[in-house]
Amino acid sequence: MPGAKETVAVIGLGAMGFGMARSLLRHGFTVVGFDPSATAVGRLSAVGGHAVDSPATAAQAAAIVVSVVINAAQTEQVLFGPEGAAEAMPPDAVFLSSATMDPAFARSFGERLQATGRHYLDAPISGGPLRAEAGTLTVMASGSPIAFAKARPALAAVATQVYELGATLGTGAAFKMINQLLAGVHIAAACEAISFAAKQRLDLNKVYEVITASAGNSWMFENRVPHVLAGDYHALSAVEIFVKDLGIVQDMARQERFPVPLAAAALQMFLAAAGAGMGGDDDSSLARIYAQLSQTVLPNRQK
C-alpha cells in the first residue's frame, strides 16, 4: 500500500509493550501483537491493533519485530522457541530486543538471528509505562547500520532519546546494566537514608527538601522517597525488577572476576524485601524492611 507505514509486531503486551504498541499506532504504524495473556491481547484489539496467537504469526508480515519481554530466557523463546519469530520474519526484517539482559545473551541472540539473514538491534529501554505510552522512552542501542536504518522510524515513535552506541552487539545491553547497577544501589541507599532519618525522628519532608538540593541527591532519591513520605507502596516499579537486574549485574561481575560490593549489598536488601512478601510492591518498599529491622515508624497512608 503506497504511503502506508510499515507493520510492526510487538511481542509482549505488558505495561511497557502495550504502551509502546499504542505509541506506534498513534504514529500510523500497523501493529500486530502477541502475548500469552488473553487479557493483554484483548486490550490491544480494543485500541486498534491486531492480536495473533504466536510470535511467528506476528512476525510474518512485519518489517520490525519489537520484543518487550522480561528477560533473556523469554527473548530466546520469542526468537527461537516453538512458533518463534526468527524463521517467520521476512528475510530483511529487523528484530528489536528491549529486555534487560547480560550482554553475552544479546551477542548470542543477535549472531544466531543474523546468521539467518535477518537484522538484530540490541536495544534496551529505560523509562516506565507512562513514558512508553507517551512515546518518550530512552533507548540504549547497538547494532549494524542497516539495523538502525530500518528501526529508526519505530524507535522515533516510542522514544525521545535514542543513544546509538555503535555496531557491537551487547553494547546496548552493557550500558543498560551500568545504569541498573547505579539505579538499584541508589534505591537501596535512598531507603536506607530516609529510614535512618525516620529512626532519628527527623522531619522527613524537610530531609527530602534538603537532600534534593544537596550533594547527597540522586535521581532515584528524588523519584522514590516521595512514595515513602506518602506511605504508598503501590507498585510503580516492583521490587522483583531489581531482584532480576541486580542479579544480572552479579552474574556478569562474577563471570568477569569483578567485585561489586555496593551492588551486592543492594541486592541483599531487594532479596530481603521480596523474601518478606513485598516482591510485587513498589521498590521503595526497601524502606519498610529497614523500618522492620529497627522498630522505626515510617509515614503510613492509613493513618
- Contact residues for a copy of itself (CB under 8 A)? 103, 126-127, 138, 140, 161, 163, 165-166, 171, 174-175, 178-183, 185-186, 188-190, 192-193, 195-197, 199-200, 202-203, 206-207, 209-211, 213-221, 223, 253, 256-266, 268-269, 290, 293-294, 296
Nearest CA to 279 out of 247, 245, 240 is that of 240
Nearest CA to 53 out of 81, 83, 74 is that of 83
Nearest CA to 246 out of 172, 159, 186 is that of 186
Smaller CB distance to a copy of itself: residue 220 or 243?
220
Angle, vertex CA 21, rays to CA 72 and CA 66, nearest 5: 35
Q: How far apart are CB 113 and a copy of itself at their closest, in Å?
A: 22
Nearest-angstrom CA–CA distance, 192 and 269 = 10
Q: How far apart are CB 17 and a copy of itself at their closest, in Å?
A: 19
Q: Which of 5, 150, 176, 303 is catalytic?
A: 176
Assign 3-class secondary structure to 65-77. Answer: EEECCCCHHHHHH
Smaller CB distance to a copy of itself: residue 114 or 223?
223
Smaller CB distance to a copy of itself: residue 45 or 294?
294
Element (H, E) at 140: strand 137-143
CB atoms within 10 A of CB 268: 12
Q: How far apart are CB 130 and a copy of itself at their closest, in Å?
A: 13
Residue type, position 205, single letter: N
Q: List the grid coordinates of 282.
A: 513498589
Axis-axis angle for helices 15-26, 145-158 (nearest 10): 90
Q: Which residues pair with 56 in a beta bridge?
A: none
| Helical segments of 27-119, H only | 38-46, 55-59, 72-80, 103-114
Smaller CB distance to a copy of itself: residue 16 or 188?
188
Q: List the grid coordinates of 211.
A: 537532600
Residue type, position 119, single letter: H
Q: How far apart are CB 212 and a copy of itself at their closest, in Å?
A: 10
Q: How far apart are CB 125 and a copy of itself at their closest, in Å?
A: 11
Asked if residue 162 lies in contact with residue 98, where contact means CB atoms within 8 angstroms, the answer is: no
**What's the first-to-final CA gap in the chain, in angstroms?**
60
Q: How far apart are CB 123 and a copy of itself at their closest, in Å?
A: 13
Pairing of strands 159-164, 119-122: unpaired
Residue 199 falls in the annotated catalytic set: no
Active site (catalytic) residues? 176
